[in-house]
C-alpha cells in the first residue's frame, strides 16, 4: 500500500471522541482518536494491532467533525486492510461484504425461495451462530434486480441520456426505488442507462478489510465511468455511500487508479433533480390535489461527510404540501453491514436509539433517507416505513400516496 | 447548483451557532457551512465573560472591566448594554431547551464572577453556568467533599484538594475526599468523564447515581464532582442530583472532552433544528466573489466538490489560528475565508513573548471591524458590506488570558447574527419592492 496518512495532523482535541457514535455506547472501542491517529504511531513502529480496531464502523463522524481534516476512519480502514492481509478475514465478513456476488450466484433461484432460504428461522439461527445476528433486519431479495427490471421498463426515447449507478441495495433489494429514479429522470428529460459493467462500489469491502476486492471493483467501475464520460454522459446515484466511495475513498486509497483511469464521480441524484426543478426542466410546481404529507428525514452520515448539504431534504421540501424535517439524531447505527454482526448488533441499536425515538415520537407516519441500509435500520428500530426521497418525489408528482413496501 | 439563502453562517463553534440562531429567530432563512465543529462541545461549557483585567487582576464584576478594554476589543465594539442583552436572549433561548444558565450576582444583585474549580484543582472566574449547580457556595463553605470515580484517571480527588488548599480564600475549608466505585468494568480504555456522563443518561446509570450519590453530601456544604451528571442538555439526573446528595453540588471543569460543553452545544443544536437551519458539514468556505463591496457568491468546498452559495449576508465565525479562521504565513497574517490582511510585524519573533503564560501578540491577531462587526482596512473603511465577523476571528482580545471564552463568542455571535438577518431581510424587501 502506497497510501500513507500523516497522523501528526491530529492535535488530540477530542472532538472526534465527542462525536463518535460507537465510543458513546461502548468502552470496548478505544475511540477514534486513540485507535486512529494516536495508534498509528505505534503501527508505524510495527507494534501489534489493538483488537478494538474492528469496532470502528467507518461512519465517518470523526472525519466530519475533525477540525484538522485528519482522515481518522481512513487510518482505521487502512489498518484493517493491513490486518486482513496479515491474518486473513472471516467468512462472515466475506458474506457481508459481498452481497453483490451472492445475489449473482442466486440469480436463477426465484426470490421467494431465496428469501425462504435466507430469512427463515432455521437459517437465521445458523447465520446467528456464524456471526450474523438473528435479530438484525436482513433485507429480502427482490424478485428481479433493478437492472433486470430496467431492461423491460418502457422509457420514452429522449435525446439526453444520464447514467444511473444503482448501488447494490437498489439493484438487489430495492429495485422499485431505482425505477422511481428512472421515472423522475424521464420527467426531467433524461433517458436513463445503467450499464451492466457496474459492480458494487466496493465500500463494504473496504469496511470489512477486503482491499484487493475493492481495488478490483474500483478499477472496473472507473473504466465503465470513463466510457460514459467519453459519451458525454453524467453519472448519478441515489446512494450516498456509493457517491462517497467514488468522490473521496477511491482517490484517497487508490490514487494510482485515478492516475490511470481518471476521476470518476457520481453526482447526487437528488441534487441533480433539484437543479432540474430550479431550471424549470422538471416541473414540480403543478402537482395534483392531494393531502399534505409529513416526513421525518434522516441524513445519512456518508452524505453529511460529503459537504453537499442535504439536497434530498431540500427536494422534498420543494414539493407543495410536503413538510420534511431533519431528525438530527446522528448515526442510525447500521453503518452498512456493521449492525448486522452479532457482536455489534446491540451497539448499532443503542447508537440508533435517539433516531428511533424521534421516529416514534414524530407526527410523521413515514420517514425518509437516501441510504438503503439506514432505511432498513430506521424501519427496524423506529417501527415506521422509511423510503427514499425520490420515491416521495414520484408519489407527489403522480398524486398518489408513496409506496412504502420494498417489493409489494 | 447555486444555493440561495438569506444568511450564510460559516463556523459551528459557539459564535457561529449563536449567530445562526439569532438570525433565524429574526425570521431569516439560515444555512451554516462548517469544517469540523468548533470547540464548544469539548469545552467546559461555562460562559466566561471577563475574568481578569489586562494587568492580571481578577475582576469581581466582569462588566467593571469593560471600560478599560482597548477600543478594538469585541466588548468595546459591542458595548456592555448589547452584551448584556445578548447573554440574556441567549440564556432565554437555552432555557426553552431545558438547559438553564444562571449568572453570578453579589448580595445586592450586581453581576459577579464565580470561581469554579477545575479537576486540576485550580479556580477559574466564570459568569454564566449550569443553574442546577452551586459553585458559588465554594468560597463560603466550611466542609467540602471532593469526589472522583475509580478508573477515571484524569480526576484525582487528593490532587484537587492539595491544589485548592493553596488558594488563600479556600484555606479554612475542611476538604474531604471520596472515590466512588467504577460503575462498569473497564475494557480496553480508561474511563473518561464523557463515558460516565453518557452512562448517567441511561436507566442503569440513573440507578447507579441514585445508589452511590445518595446522602453523599450530608454534613457537607458542597459536593464537588467531575462532570459526569449526564451529557444531555436536560438530563433527568442533573435535576435531582442535589436532592439525592442532600447538598448543593458543582461539577469541576474538565479537560476536553469537558462534557458541560456538549450539553450546551446540544441545546443550541436543538434550537437550530427547530428553525430548520441547514448544515453543510465537512466543507470549507472560500473563493468569495466580491462585487462593489458586496460578497455575492461564496463557495463551500469539500473533496472533489464545490458548492456555490448566494447568500444575502454572511456571518464569518471561523475561529482563530488553531481553528483555521486566521491563517499564518511567514511574516504574513490573513483572515482565511476572504483573504483579508491582518496587521502584524514582519518579524515573526515579535508575534510571541518568552513567557509562555504571558501576553502574546498572536493571541490578539484577528480581523478589525467597524461598529457593526464588518471588516475594515487600516483607515476604517468597510471592506465587505454584507459580511459580519464574530467570535475568535475577531482581533483585539486574548480570551485565554482574560478569561472571556464563550462570552465574546456569544455576545458577538448574537449581535452579528441579528445584524446579518436584518440587513438580508431589508435588502430582500427592497428588491421585492423594486421589482
Record: contact B305-A51, CB cut-off 8 A: no
Record: contact B188-A29, CB cut-off 8 A: yes
pLDDT for res B232: 92
Task: State what percent of residues in chain A have pLDDT above 70.
Answer: 99
Of all residues in chain B, the one with the smallest CA distance to A51 is: B188
Distance between CA atoms of residues B32 and B9, nearest Å:
5
φ and ψ at A118, to 5 degrees?
Answer: -90, -35
Q: Is A375 on the interface with B (CB under 8 A)?
A: no
Record: contact B304-A28, CB cut-off 8 A: no
Who contacts A269 (Cβ-Cβ below 8 Å, separation ≥6)?
A164, A181, A185, A236, A237, A238, A390
- ipTM of the assembly? 0.93
pLDDT for res A104: 76
**Minimum-distance CB partner of A30 among B188, B282, B283:** B188
Distance between CA atoms of residues B354 and A126, nearest Å:
68
**Is the confidence at residue B2, as pLDDT, over 60?**
no
Peptide bond before residue B257 is cis, with ω within 30 degrees of 0: yes
The residue ranges of every structural domain in chain A are: 7-87, 283-398
Q: Is B269 on the interface with A (CB under 8 A)?
A: yes
**Is the confidence at residue B188, as pLDDT, over 80?**
no
Which of residues B60 and B189 earns the better pLDDT score? B60
Record: contact B39-A24, CB cut-off 8 A: no
What letters, b where the CB count within 10 A reaches 16 and e where it falls short, cover A218-240?
bbbbbebbeebbeeebebbbbbb
Record: contact B1-A14, CB cut-off 8 A: no
Q: Is B286 on the interface with A (CB under 8 A)?
A: no
Record: contact B194-A34, CB cut-off 8 A: no
Tell me how crowded residue A125 is: count the other CB atoms within 10 A of its CB. 11
What letters, b where the CB count within 10 A reaches 16 and e where it falls short, cover B285-311?
bbebebeeeebeebbbbbbebebebeb
Q: Which of B303, B311, B317, B321 to mutate to test the interface with A (most CBs of A within 10 A)?
A: B303
Q: Which CATH superfamily is domain A283-398 in?
A: AF0625-like (3.40.50.10700)
Distance between CA atoms of residues A380 and A373, nearest Å:
10
Given pLDDT bands bounded at 50, 70 and 90, which one contains residue A5?
confident
Chain A: give the shortest CA distance to residue B220, in Å.
33
Place of cell 462593489: B292
A174-200 residue pLDDT tens: 999 999 999 999 999 999 999 999 999
Q: Measured between alpha carbons, how far apart are the two ends of chain A, in Å? A: 46
φ and ψ at B120, to 5 degrees?
Answer: -95, 0
**Is the confidence at residue B43, as pLDDT, over 50?**
yes
| Interface subset of A 311-330, CB within 8 angstroms of B | 313-314, 325-326, 328
A147-158 residue pLDDT tens: 999 999 999 999
The residue ranges of every structural domain in chain B are: 2-93+267-434, 134-247
A14-42 residue pLDDT tens: 999 999 999 999 988 999 999 999 999 89
Q: Is A295 on the interface with B (CB under 8 A)?
A: no
> What is the average per-residue pLDDT within B241-259?
94
**Is the confidence at residue B93, as pLDDT, over 70?**
yes
H or E stretch covering A112: helix A111-119
Per DSSP (E only), the strands in B242-350 are 249-251, 278-280, 284-291, 294-302, 305-316, 326-329, 332-335, 341-342
pLDDT for res A1: 46
Chain B: give the shortest CA distance to residue A309, in Å.
4
Distance between CA atoms of residues B365 and B336, nearest Å:
13
A319-359 residue pLDDT tens: 999 999 999 999 999 999 999 999 999 999 999 999 999 99
Report the CATH number of the B2-93+267-434 domain.
Answer: 3.50.50.60
B264-323 residue pLDDT tens: 999 999 999 999 999 999 999 999 999 999 999 999 999 999 999 999 999 999 999 999
A214-225 residue pLDDT tens: 999 999 999 999
Distance between CA atoms of residues A201 and A207, nearest Å:
12
**Minimum-distance CB partner of B262 among A18, A265, A275:** A18
DSSP letter (8 states) at residue A37:
I
pLDDT for res A396: 98
Given pLDDT bands bounded at 50, 70 and 90, which one contains residue B187?
low
> What is the average per-residue pLDDT within B32-47?
94
Of all residues in chain A, the one with the smallest CA distance to B277 is: A326
**Is the confidence at residue A130, as pLDDT, over 50?**
yes
Place of cell 485548592: B164
List of chain A residues whose C-beta atoms are within 8 Å of the C-beta of residue B274: none
Q: Is A34 on the interface with B (CB under 8 A)?
A: yes
B221-239 residue pLDDT tens: 999 999 999 999 988 888 8
Query: Is the distance from CB of A272 to CB of A308 less than 8 angstroms?
Result: no
Chain B: give the shortest CA distance to residue A278, in Å.
9
- Give the closest residue to A203 by CA, choosing from A190, A215, A220: A215
pLDDT for res A4: 67
Of all residues in chain B, the one with the smallest CA distance to A327 is: B273
Which of residues A234 and A100 earns the better pLDDT score? A234
List of chain A residues whose C-beta atoms are within 8 Å of the C-beta of residue B322: 11, 67
- Give CA separation, B232 vs A29, A346, B201, B242, B277, in Å: 22, 21, 7, 17, 21
Q: Supply the DSSP string of A214-277, one letter for each residue.
A: HHHHHHHHHHHHHHHHHTT-EEEES-HHHHHIIIIIHHHH-HHHHHHH-----EEHHHHHHHHH
Record: contact B322-A11, CB cut-off 8 A: yes
Task: State what percent of residues in chain A have pLDDT above 90.
Answer: 83
CA A204, A206, A208, A212 torsion-angle sign = positive
Q: Is B35 on the interface with A (CB under 8 A)?
A: yes
pTM above 0.90, yes or no: yes
Of all residues in chain A, the one with the smallest CA distance to B271 is: A328
pLDDT for res A2: 57
**Minimum-distance CB partner of B1 among A28, A30, A274:** A274
pLDDT for res B1: 47
Of all residues in chain B, the one with the smallest CA distance to A19 is: B41
Residue A205 in grid coordinates: 469491502
**Minimum-distance CB partner of B307 among A51, A67, A308:** A308
Place of cell 438530527: A328
Task: State what percent of residues in chain B have pLDDT above 90.
Answer: 89
Record: contact B36-A304, CB cut-off 8 A: no
Q: Supply the DSSP string of B336-381, one letter for each residue.
A: TTT--EE---S-GGGGS-SSTTS--HHHH--B-B-TTS-BB-TT--
* A-to-B residue pairs, Cβ atoms closer than 8 angstroms: 120
Q: Is A236 on the interface with B (CB under 8 A)?
A: no
Query: Is the distance from CB of B375 to CB of B393 less than 8 angstroms?
Result: no
Of all residues in chain B, the one with the smallest CA distance to A313 is: B278
Record: contact A306-B302, CB cut-off 8 A: yes
Record: contact A308-B323, CB cut-off 8 A: no
Q: Measured between alpha carbons, how far apart are the two ends of chain B, in Å? A: 24
Q: What is the average pLDDT score of chain B?
A: 95
Fold annotation for A7-87: Fumarate Reductase Iron-sulfur Protein; Chain B, domain 2 (1.10.1060)
Q: Which of B188, B230, B285, B326 to mutate to test the interface with A (most CBs of A within 10 A)?
A: B188
| Interface subset of B 193-252, CB within 8 angstroms of A | 194-195, 198
Given pLDDT bands bounded at 50, 70 and 90, which one contains residue B115?
very high
* 3-state secondary structure (DSSP) of residue A387: strand
Record: contact B31-A25, CB cut-off 8 A: no
Amino acid at each position: 500500500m502506497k497510501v500513507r496518512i500523516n497522523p501528526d495532523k491530529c492535535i488530540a482535541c477530542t472532538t472526534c471522541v465527542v462525536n463518535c457514535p460507537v465510543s458513546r455506547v461502548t468502552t470496548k472501542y478505544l475511540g477514534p482518536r486513540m485507535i486512529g491517529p494516536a495508534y498509528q504511531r505505534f503501527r508505524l513502529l510495527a507494534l501489534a494491532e489493538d483488537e478494538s480496531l474492528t469496532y470502528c464502523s467507518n461512519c465517518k463522524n470523526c472525519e466530519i467533525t475533525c477540525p484538522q481534516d485528519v482522515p481518522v476512519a481512513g487510518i482505521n480502514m487502512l489498518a484493517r486492510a493491513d490486518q486482513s492481509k496479515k491474518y486473513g478475514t472471516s467468512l462472515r465478513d466475506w458474506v457481508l461484504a459481498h452481497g453483490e456476488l451472492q445475489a449473482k450466484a442466486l440469480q436463477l433461484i426465484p426470490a421467494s425461495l431465496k428469501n425462504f432460504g435466507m430469512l427463515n428461522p432455521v437459517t437465521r439461527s445458523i447465520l446467528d451462530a456464524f456471526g450474523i445476528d438473528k435479530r438484525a433486519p436482513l433485507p429480502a431479495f427482490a424478485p428481479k434486480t433493478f437492472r433486470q427490471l430496467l431492461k423491460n421498463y418502457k422509457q420514452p426515447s429522449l435525446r439526453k441520456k444520464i447514467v444511473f449507478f444503482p448501488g447494490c441495495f437498489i439493484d438487489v433489494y430495492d429495485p422499485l426505488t431505482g425505477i422511481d429514479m428512472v421515472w423522475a429522470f424521464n420527467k426531467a428529460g433524461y433517458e436513463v442507462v445503467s450499464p451492466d459493467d457496474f459492480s458494487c462500489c466496493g465500500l463494504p469491502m473496504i469496511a470489512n478489510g477486503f482491499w484487493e476486492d475493492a481495488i478490483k471493483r474500483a478499477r472496473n467501475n472507473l473504466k465503465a465511468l470513463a466510457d460514459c464520460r467519453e459519451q458525454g454522459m453524467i453519472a448519478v446515484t441515489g446512494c450516498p455511500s456509493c457517491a462517497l466511495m467514488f468522490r473521496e475513498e477511491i482517490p484517497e486509497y487508490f490514487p494510482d487508479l485515478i492516475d490511470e483511469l481518471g476521476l470518476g464521480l457520481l453526482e447526487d441524484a437528488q441534487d441533480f433533480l433539484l437543479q432540474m426543478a430550479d431550471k424549470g426542466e422538471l416541473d414540480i410546481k403543478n402537482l395534483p390535489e392531494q393531502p399534505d404529507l409529513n416526513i421525518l428525514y434522516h441524513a445519512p452520515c456518508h452524505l453529511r461527510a460529503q459537504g453537499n448539504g442535504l439536497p434530498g431534504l431540500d427536494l422534498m421540501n420543494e414539493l407543495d404540501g410536503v413538510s420534511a424535517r431533519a431528525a438530527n439524531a446522528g448515526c442510525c447505527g447500521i453503518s452498512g453491514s456493521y449492525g448486522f454482526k452479532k457482536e455489534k448488533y446491540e451497539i448499532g441499536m443503542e447508537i440508533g436509539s435517539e433516531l428511533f425515538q424521534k421516529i416514534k415520537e414524530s407526527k410523521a407516519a413515514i420517514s425518509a433517507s437516501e441510504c438503503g441500509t439506514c432505511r432498513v435500520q430506521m424501519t427496524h428500530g423506529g417501527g415506521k416505513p422509511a423510503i427514499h426521497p425520490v420515491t416521495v418525489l414520484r408519489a407527489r408528482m403522480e398524486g398518489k400516496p408513496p409506496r412504502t413496501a420494498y417489493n409489494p | 447548483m447555486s444555493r440561495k439563502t438569506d444568511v450564510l453562517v460559516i463556523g459551528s463553534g459557539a459564535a457561529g451557532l449563536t449567530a445562526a440562531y439569532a438570525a433565524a429567530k429574526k425570521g431569516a432563512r439560515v444555512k451554516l457551512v462548517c469544517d469540523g465543529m468548533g470547540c464548544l462541545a469539548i469545552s467546559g461549557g461555562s460562559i466566561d465573560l471577563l475574568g481578569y483585567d489586562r494587568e492580571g487582576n481578577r475582576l469581581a464584576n466582569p462588566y467593571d472591566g469593560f471600560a478599560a478594554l482597548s477600543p478594538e476589543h469585541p466588548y468595546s465594539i459591542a458595548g456592555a448594554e448589547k452584551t448584556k442583552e445578548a447573554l440574556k436572549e441567549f440564556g432565554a433561548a437555552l432555557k426553552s431547551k431545558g438547559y438553564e444558565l444562571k449568572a453570578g450576582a453579589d448580595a445586592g444583585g450586581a453581576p459577579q464572577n464565580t470561581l469554579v474549580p477545575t479537576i486540576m484543582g485550580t479556580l477559574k472566574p466564570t459568569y454564566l453556568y449550569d443553574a442546577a449547580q452551586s459553585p458559588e457556595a465554594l468560597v463560603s463553605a466550611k466542609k467540602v467533599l471532593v469526589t472522583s470515580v475509580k478508573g477515571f484517571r484524569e480526576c484525582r480527588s487528593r490532587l484537587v484538594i492539595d491544589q485548592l488548599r493553596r488558594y488563600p480564600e479556600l484555606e479554612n475549608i475542611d476538604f474531604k475526599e471520596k472515590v466512588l466505585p467504577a460503575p462498569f468494568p473497564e475494557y480496553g480504555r480508561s474511563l473518561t468523564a464523557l463515558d460516565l456522563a453518557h452512562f448517567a443518561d441511561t436507566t442503569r446509570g440513573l440507578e447507579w447515581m441514585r445508589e452511590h450519590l445518595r446522602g453523599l453530601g450530608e454534613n457537607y456544604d458542597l459536593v464537588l464532582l467531575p462532570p459526569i451528571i449526564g451529557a444531555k442538555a436536560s438530563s433527568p439526573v442533573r435535576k435531582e442530583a442535589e436532592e439525592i446528595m442532600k447538598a448543593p453540588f458543582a461539577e469541576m471543569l474538565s479537560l476536553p472532552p469537558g462534557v458541560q460543553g456538549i450539553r450546551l452545544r446540544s441545546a443550541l443544536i436543538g434550537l437550530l433544528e427547530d428553525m430548520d437551519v441547514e448544515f453543510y458539514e465537512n466543507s470549507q468556505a472560500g473563493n468569495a466573489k466580491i462585487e462593489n463591496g458586496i460578497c455575492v457568491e461564496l463557495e463551500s468546498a469539500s473533496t472533489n466538490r464545490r458548492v456555490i452559495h448566494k447568500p444575502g449576508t454572511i456571518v464569518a465565525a471561523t475561529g482563530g489560528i488553531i481553528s483555521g479562521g486566521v491563517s499564518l504565513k511567514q511574516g504574513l497574517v490573513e483572515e482565511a475565508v476572504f483573504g483579508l490582511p491582518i496587521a502584524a510585524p514582519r518579524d515573526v519573533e515579535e508575534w510571541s513573548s518568552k513567557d509562555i503564560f504571558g501576553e502574546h501578540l498572536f493571541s490578539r491577531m484577528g480581523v478589525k471591524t467597524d461598529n457593526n462587526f464588518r471588516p475594515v482596512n487600516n483607515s476604517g473603511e468597510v471592506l465587505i458590506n454584507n459580511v459580519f465577523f464574530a467570535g475568535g476571528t475577531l482581533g483585539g482580545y486574548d480570551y485565554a488570558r482574560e478569561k472571556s471564552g464563550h462570552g465574546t463568542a456569544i455576545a458577538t455571535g448574537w449581535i452579528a447574527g441579528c445584524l446579518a438577518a436584518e440587513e438580508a431581510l431589508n435588502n430582500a424587501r427592497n428588491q421585492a419592492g423594486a421589482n
